[in-house]
Amino acid sequence: MPAGWGPRRRTWLRHAAHRAGLPQPRLVEAPVAVAGYLFATGVQLPVGAFIVVCDVGAGAEVSVLRRSPAGFEVLATWPTRPLAARRSTAPSPPR
């Protein structure tokens, strides 16, 4: 799930899983999943280390994480608007 999703979207996702008959999901923010994967595959990330994760799709989301003894903590996330939204608000080129 995107790190920028707030409580309302997270609750909506939990409700959707419940309505679909699924057990209560454990929601994992995308940058935390990436950092966990890197750590599990042998990348050295000592406790206290910082990592920047860039998620690039239709838009981009950049997150800064810190490794703690319990896992990874998202310190900050900077989302951008999707490319489609940027294109629709851009001025038309001169003719």
Q: Which long-range contacts (CB under 8 A, 24 or more apart) does 58-61 make?
A: 58/82, 58/83, 58/84, 59/83, 59/85, 61/2, 61/3, 61/4, 61/30, 61/31
The per-residue pLDDT for range 39-65, each reduced to its tens digit, is: 999 999 999 999 999 988 777 889 999
pLDDT at 5: 86
What is the pTM for the complete model shown?
0.74
